[in-house]
Amino acid sequence: MTAPIVDVQGLHKTYRSFSLKGRKNVNAVRGVSLQAFPGEVFGLLGPNGAGKTTLIKMLLGVVKPSSGSAEIFGQPIGSSSARARVGYLPESLRVDRHHTARSALRYYGRMSNMAADQIHSRSDELLKLVGLEGRDRESVRRFSKGMYQRLGLAQALLHDPDLLVLDEPTDGLDPVGRNEVRKVIDRLRDSGKTIFLNSHILQEVELVCTRVAILAKGEIKGIGRIDELSENSDSRLQVDVHLAETLTLEDQQTASQWWEQTFEQRFAVQADSPADPAIQHLTIEVQERPEIDWIVDRIRARGDSITRLEVRRESLEEAFMRLVGSNEGVAVTASPAPVAVTDSTTVPAAKEA
Amino acid sequence: MKPYLAVVLDSFHSAFSSRVLWIAILAIWVFLAGLAPIGYREVYTTEFRWFDLDNGTQLKAMLARGLVDPNEKETALGRIAQTVPEETRRSLEKVARGENIRIDLEKLSDSFNESLDDESWYDEKAWESTVRLKELRELDEIPDDEISEDLRRRRARLRIEAALPGVFAAMSSRSIMLSYAGFDFPAMFAISKSQFGTVVNQFVVPLITSWLLGFALIFLGILVTASIVPEMLQPGSLHLLLSKPLSRTMLLLAKFVGALAFVLICVCQLVIGLYLIAGLRLDLWNPRILWCIPVSVFLFAVFYSVSMLAGLRWRSSILAIGLTCIFGAVVLIIGIVGGYFDGSVRMPDRISRMAFDGDDVVVSTRGGELKHLDPETNEWDVLIERDFRRSDLIVPPVRLAEGQIATAKIRNGRFNLYGTGSLDLLMLRRESEWELEPGLRLPNGTRRFLICDDLLIGVNNAGLMATPLEKAISTIRPEDEDDGDDSEEAAEESTGSESTGSASGMAAAAWMRDLLRMQGGATDSFTNILPSGITLTEPVRVEHLPELDSLVVYSRGRLVRLSLESVDLEQKTTASTEADLLLEDENAARSLLAASGRSLLLSRQNEPLQWFDADDLQSKATLETEAGETIVSMKGIGQSGRFALLNTDGDLSLVSLRDGALVREPMSFGDVTAVDYLSDPGVLAIAHHLDRIDWVKVGEDGSLTTVREIEPAVSGWRSVDRYAITPLRTLTPQTGELSDMVAALVSGKSSFAIGQGQPDDQEVVQYKIARPVLSCGVFIVVMLTLSCVYFKRRDF
C-alpha cells in the first residue's frame, strides 16, 4: 500500500486560557486520525468550530498538538523539511500593502529558498494560471478579495509543493473563478499532487474531492469516499401512482394515513396530490430492497398504475447533516455551533482559536 | 539565511512605502537645507569683553596704581591707565584712596576696545619692561606701514594685556566668527579653530543626537514600526509565514532587524548631511560623527524591543506605542534622578585634595566641602559645608606640623581669582579637635601652599608669598578678631580720613601698600620672594625641589628655577634665579608641573610630556600622551625621579626615565579622583571611587603595595544612591547616557576637563561609555529573548 502523505494519529489539541474566573480548557481537536494519500484531493468538512482550522494549523506547524502524532511526507509536522514541501493558501490571505502581485511572489519565493530566476519564471506561469497576468505590477491595495485569493493560490503553488493545503480556496471568487480554481485543482491532482482542502461549500467538495473527512466537536464523524459516507441502508422511495379508483374526498384529505394503512402501517408515507385527484406522489422511507418489491406488489395488487418509481440515495449534505446532527447542520451556514468544554460549561466557538 | 534576508529587505521595502518616512525625509532635508548656509571665518581676537577680565580686583588695583603712582606714569601700566574714561578714572582714584568702589567691567572693556583704534598710548620704551608673548614680539617686528589693520588691532590688544599681566583670561589668538548665508553672527566665539571643533564634537553633535535623533526620530520610528509585529500576527499573514520553512526565532529577529531599517534610513541621511555640512561649511571633517548612526539605531533598538514584546503579547500597535512611551518616560525619570544624584550627591563628594596627619585625614572635595575623617566612627565630619552655588574655593589643605593642618577658603574664588573679602589661613589642630580656627591673614588670591623647610609659601598671581612656618603655626586668632590690616574694608577704614588729600608722603605710601595688597601683594606677615622681572601669568605652577633647595615656577611658557638659599624674610631678599627657560608653542594651554628629585615633568595640553633636568632646565626626554588624553594631576614620587600621572579618565600611571627615554606604565587603579605623595611614610595617597583612599608604596620595579585602606562609611543620600538609585540604574537601560557615548565617540575622548585654572578648580567630565552600552545591550538581549520565547511557544 502507498505510504500516506499526511498521516495523523490520535491528534489532540486543548487550548488553555486563564482569566479571573479561573482556568478554562477548550478541546478543539479530540483524537483525530486520518490519512491523505498521494494524488488524492482530501476534503475536510465540518461546521464552524469543529476544529478544521486547528487541525490544518497543526499540520502546518503553526499550532503544537497537545498529544498524538502526525507526519507529513514521513517527517514530523512542524519540521522545516516537511513545511518546505507544503504550499498553503490561508483562508483570508493578507499581503503587506507595499507589495504588488509580482513583488509578493518574489518575497514568498525567497522565503521558500527559491532562486531569483526560478521565482521569475514560476511567477509568469502562475500569474497567467490564476488570471492575474497584466495586473502583476499593480499594488495589492487595489485588489479585490477574489484577486487576493488568486494571488494566494499562486503563492501556494510557487515552489511547486507536493502537498497543497487550501483553506476555502474559492472564497470570494465569482462562479467563473470558482470553476477555474476547480480546474486548477483537477490539473494538480492529475499531476500527482496531494491536496488537502478545507471548504464550507459542500457542492465544491463533492465535485473535486476523492475522499472526505467530516469533523464535528473536534472529532472525526465520518471519513471516506463520498459514496461511502452516504447511508446505503436508508433510502427514500418516490413513487407516482395513477389510481385506478379516485379516493374519496375524506381519504384525499388524509392521504398519507390512508396510504400507511394500505401499506399495513409498515412505512412512513408522505403523500402529495397534484391537481389531478387520480395522481398521487408518494415518498416512502424504506430500508431494504425487498420492502420496495413489497410496496410495488401492494400498489399493483390494488390495480393502480405506477407511472414513476425512483429510489433516491443520501446526498453529501444529507450525510453531513446526519453525521454532525441537525442542530449543527444549521450552524454550517447560520450560526456558530457550541463545542463541549471539559469543565462542563458551554461556550460559543465562533471559529477555532 | 536567504529567507531571513528577504524579511529584512522586505522591511526596507515596507519602510520606503511609508508616507511617514517620506515626511520624515522631507523634514530632514528641510533641516539640512536650513543648516547648510552656515559658515565661519577665523578672525584675530581683538575685542575685549567684560568676561575676559578674569581678575577684576587686581585690574582695579593695578589701574588705580597706574593712575596715582608717579613712578608708573611713564610705564606701560600708567599709560594704559590714562586711557580709561573720565568717569572710570574718578572711580579708580577713589579706589586708590582706599574706597571700596565697584568698577563696571563692561565700561573698562569698552575703554580698552577704544584704545585698540587709537594707539597713542603706546610707547616702545615703556613696553620693553613688560613680559611680551612670542606672538607680540613677532608682531612688534612688523613695521607699522606693513601691518594689516586686523594684525595691528591684535597687536594693540596684546600690548594692553602685556601692560596688565595676570588680569585677562587666557584667550586664543584667533577667534571664530560664524556667519549665516554670508551674514556674520552678532557675536564671535573667542575660541580657536580646534576649540571650536571640540565644542561642535562634544556639545553640538551630542545635543543633536539627544534631541533630534534620540527623541524625535525615535518617537517617529516607534510610531511607524509599532504596527509591524501586530500586522504580522494577523491570521492571513502569520499562518502563511509560519507555514514556510523558517525558524520562528529567526523570523522574529529578522523582523526586529528590519524594523531598524526605518530609523537607519532617516539617521543615515541626517548624520551624513551633518557630516558634509560640518566638513564643507565649517572645515570640520570628522568621520567620527558617523558613529551617531549606529548609536541612534542602537538606541532605537532599546525602545523597539519593548514595542515588539508589547505588540507580540497584545497584538495591538496602539498598546505597543503606549507602553513604549510609558517605558521611555520611566527610563527618562530614572535617568534624570540618577543624573541629579550624580551631580548633587556623588560628584560633590569626590576628593580633590588630601592632607594627612597620622590617622587623621582632612580632604577637600569637588563640591567645595572640607571634611575630616573621624577615626572612631569612620565617617566624615564636615568642617566647611558645601557651597551650593559652588562659588567658593577651598585652598588645598597642607600639613604644617604634627597635629596641624592648614587651608583657606576664598569666597567667590571660583569666578574671581582673588575672591571677595579677606582671606585667612584656616588652622586645623588636633588639640582643638580639628575645629577651624583663623590664623594668619593671607595675601589676596592665595591658591596654594607650599611647605619649604621652615617656610610657608602662599602662591598667588602676584608672586610667591613666604612667611616663617613657625609664625603660621603659632598664630591663632580668636574668631571675632579682625586686625584689618590687609583687607579692602580695612584699607577703606584706615585711609578714609585722609582720602581727600593728594597722593603724597606717608598717606601715599599707605595707599600704595593697600593697592599692592589688593593685588595680592606682600602683607605684614608675608613677603614676596619672587625675584623682580618674573611675572606670574596663568597658567602658573610652582613646585618645590627639596634636593636643590629650590622652587620651580612655570608661568605661561616660562620655566624658572629659583634658589631659596638667598631668601631672608627679615631682610626681604627674594629667591635667586638659577635657571630660566622660555618654552614656545601654545603657552596658554592647560599645563601641569611636577618635581621629583632633580627631575621635572611638564605636561601641556596637546603637547608631549617633557622631562627636564631641574638643575639647568634642559629638556632630556619627551613622551607622547594618548590622543585626546588630558592629564589632570601629576605628582613626583619622593626623590625617586618618578611621577604619578592622573588623567581625566581616572586612570593612574607611572612615568619614569629609563635609558634616557620616558616610560609610562599603567598603575592598577581606576576611578581615581586625586593623588598625592606623602614624604613621611613615603607613600602615594590615592583617592578613588569618590572618597576612598589607599596608601600605596611604589617599589623600585613599579610594583604597588597597599599599606593602608580608608573606606569611609556612607550615610544619608549616599546610602540612598548606593542601595536604591544605583541598582535601579543598573536594572534599567540608561538611554540618556548614550549621548555621553556619542560625545566620546565623536570627540575621540572618553573624558575631558573644563576650566583652564588650577587643577583644583577643574571640572572633570567623564563620559559614561560602558554603562549605557552594557545596560542597553543587556536590556535588548533580555527583551528579545522574552519575545523569541513567547513567539516560539505560543500557538497563534
Nearest-Å Rg of the Cα atoms of chain A is 26
Q: How far apart are CA B80 and CA B159, in angstroms?
A: 9
Residue B561 is placed in which grid cell? 628655577
User: What is the predicted pLDDT for the residue at B611?
Assistant: 93
Q: What is the average per-residue pLDDT within B673-685?
A: 89
Q: What is the average per-residue pLDDT within B119-133?
A: 82
Q: A233 pLDDT exceeds 70?
A: no
- Partners of B237 on chain A (C-beta within 8 Å) are 94-96
Q: What is the average per-residue pLDDT within B39-45?
A: 87
Q: Which positions ≥6 away from B190 have C-beta within 8 Å?
A: B45, B49, B52, B171, B172, B175
CB A96 to CB B231 under 8 A?
A: yes
Q: Which residue has the higher pLDDT, B755 or B363?
A: B363
Q: Which residue has the higher pLDDT, A345 or B458?
A: B458
Q: What is the average per-residue pLDDT within B458-462?
A: 84
Q: B501 pLDDT exceeds 60?
A: no
CB A80 to CB B14 under 8 A?
A: no
Q: Which residue in A has a C-alpha nearest to residue B795's C-alpha?
A: A63
Angstroms from A65 CA to nearest CA on chain B: 10
In terms of Cβ atoms closer than 10 Å to its own Cβ (0-12, 13-18, 19+), residue A296 is middle
Q: Which residue has the higher pLDDT, A347 or B246?
A: B246
CB B244 to CB A111 under 8 A?
A: yes
Q: What is the average per-residue pLDDT within B450-463?
A: 87
User: What is the predicted pLDDT for the residue at A343?
Assistant: 36
Q: How far apart are CA B790 and CA B223, in angstroms?
A: 23
Pick from A111, A114, A196 the residue to mutate for testing the B interface (most B CBs within 10 Å). Answer: A111
Q: B120-129, B336-345, B462-471, B530-539: which range is least confident on average?
A: B530-539
Owner of C-alpha cell 613615603: B682
The answer to whether residues B277 and B36 touch, using CB atoms and an 8 Å cutoff, is yes
Q: Which residue has the higher pLDDT, A151 or A341?
A: A151
- Partners of A15 on chain B (C-beta within 8 Å) are 795
CB A110 to CB B6 under 8 A?
A: yes
User: What is the predicted pLDDT for the residue at B593?
Assistant: 92
- Partners of A165 on chain B (C-beta within 8 Å) are 243
Angstroms from B253 CA to nearest CA on chain A: 15
Each residue of B168-178: pLDDT tens digit? 877 778 888 88
Angstroms from A291 CA to nearest CA on chain B: 53
% pLDDT > 90, chain A: 25
Q: What is the average per-residue pLDDT within B30-36?
A: 93
Q: What is the average per-residue pLDDT within B15-26?
A: 85
The answer to whether residues B590 and B607 touch, using CB atoms and an 8 Å cutoff, is no
CB B239 to CB A81 under 8 A?
A: no
Q: Which positions ≥6 away from B452 have C-beta within 8 Å?
A: B466, B544, B546, B549, B551, B564
Q: What is the average per-residue pLDDT within B361-382?
A: 89
From A88, A103, A111, residue closest to B3, measured CB to CB: A111
Pick from B227, B239, B789 the residue to mutate for testing the A interface (most A CBs within 10 Å). Answer: B239
From B13, B231, B245, residue closest to A83, measured CB to CB: B245
Angstroms from A314 CA to nearest CA on chain B: 36
The answer to whether residues B43 and B171 touch, using CB atoms and an 8 Å cutoff, is no
User: Residue B18's CB: how many other CB atoms inside 10 A?
Assistant: 16
- Partners of B16 on chain A (C-beta within 8 Å) are 98
Q: How far apart are CA B771 and CA B353, in angstroms?
A: 27
User: What is the predicted pLDDT for the residue at B398?
Assistant: 92
CB A113 to CB B2 under 8 A?
A: yes
CB B234 to CB A94 under 8 A?
A: yes
Each residue of A86-102: pLDDT tens digit? 999 988 888 888 899 99
Angstroms from A229 CA to nearest CA on chain B: 31
Q: What is the average per-residue pLDDT within B97-123?
A: 83
Q: B185 pLDDT exceeds 50?
A: yes
SS3 A138: coil
CB A62 to CB B10 under 8 A?
A: no
CB A111 to CB B246 under 8 A?
A: yes
Q: Which residue in A has a C-alpha nearest to residue B231's C-alpha?
A: A96
User: Model pTM greater than 0.90?
Assistant: no
Nearest alpha carbon to residue A67 among A134, A138, A137, A14? A14
The pairing of beta strand A163-167 with beta strand A194-198: parallel
- Partners of A95 on chain B (C-beta within 8 Å) are 237
Q: B483 pLDDT exceeds 60?
A: no
Instruction: Give me chain A's average pLDDT, please.
Output: 82
- Partners of A81 on chain B (C-beta within 8 Å) are 245
Q: How far apart are CA B164 and CA B54, in angstroms?
A: 11
**Angle of the A116-129 helix axis to the A145-157 helix axis, nearest 10:** 130
CB A353 to CB B795 under 8 A?
A: yes
Angstroms from A162 CA to nearest CA on chain B: 14
Q: B123 pLDDT exceeds 50?
A: yes
CB B238 to CB A62 under 8 A?
A: yes
The answer to whether residues A49 and A346 touch, using CB atoms and an 8 Å cutoff, is no
Q: How far apart are CA B479 and CA A172, in angstroms?
A: 99
Q: What is the ipTM of this complex?
A: 0.77
Q: What is the average per-residue pLDDT within B668-695?
A: 89
End-to-end Cα distance, chain B: 24
**DSSP secondary-structure letter at B216?**
I
Nearest alpha carbon to residue B346 among B373, B386, B319, B384? B386
User: What is the predicted pLDDT for the residue at B420?
Assistant: 67
Pick from A91, A96, A140 the residue to mutate for testing the B interface (most B CBs within 10 Å). Answer: A96
% pLDDT > 90, chain B: 25
SS3 B242: helix
CB A80 to CB B6 under 8 A?
A: no
From B3, B243, B795, residue closest to A110, measured CB to CB: B3
Q: Which residue in A has a C-alpha nearest to residue B13's C-alpha?
A: A98
Q: How far apart are CA B32 and CA B274, in angstroms?
A: 7
Owner of C-alpha cell 627636564: B612
CB A110 to CB B239 under 8 A?
A: no
Q: In what order do the strands lie in the sheet with B631-636?
A: B631-636, B643-647, B652-658, B661-667
User: What is the predicted pLDDT for the residue at B385?
Assistant: 87
Tell me how many residue pairs between chain A and chain B have CB atoms under 8 A apart.
Answer: 80
% pLDDT > 70, chain B: 92
- Partners of A60 on chain B (C-beta within 8 Å) are 239, 242-243
Q: Which residue in B has a C-alpha nearest to residue A103's C-alpha?
A: B10
Q: How far apart are CA B413 and CA B321, in angstroms?
A: 51
Q: Which positions ≥6 away from B427 have C-beta within 8 Å?
A: B400, B404, B405, B406, B436, B437, B438, B439, B476
State the greatest distance between any 2 C-alpha atoms of chain B, in Å, as a whole number.
Answer: 107
Q: Which positions ≥6 away from A162 have C-beta within 8 Å?
A: A5, A73, A85, A86, A193, A194
Write the Ramachandran bin of A68: left for phi over 0, alpha for psi from -120 to 50, otherwise beta.
Answer: left
Q: How confident is the model at residue B768 (pLDDT cuts 50, 70, 90)?
A: confident
End-to-end Cα distance, chain A: 36
% pLDDT > 70, chain A: 91
CB B239 to CB A62 under 8 A?
A: yes
Distances in Å between the Cα of B83 and the Cα atoms of B67, B132, B410, B566, B766 are: 10, 20, 32, 40, 45
Q: B101 pLDDT exceeds 80?
A: no
Q: How far apart are CA B115 and CA A262, in angstroms?
A: 140
User: What is the predicted pLDDT for the residue at A329?
Assistant: 39
Q: What is the average per-residue pLDDT within B736-757?
A: 75
The pairing of beta strand B527-528 with beta strand B540-545: unpaired
CB A97 to CB B240 under 8 A?
A: no
Q: B307 pLDDT exceeds 80?
A: yes
**DSSP secondary-structure letter at A141?**
G
SS3 B195: helix
The answer to whether residues B316 and B231 touch, using CB atoms and an 8 Å cutoff, is no
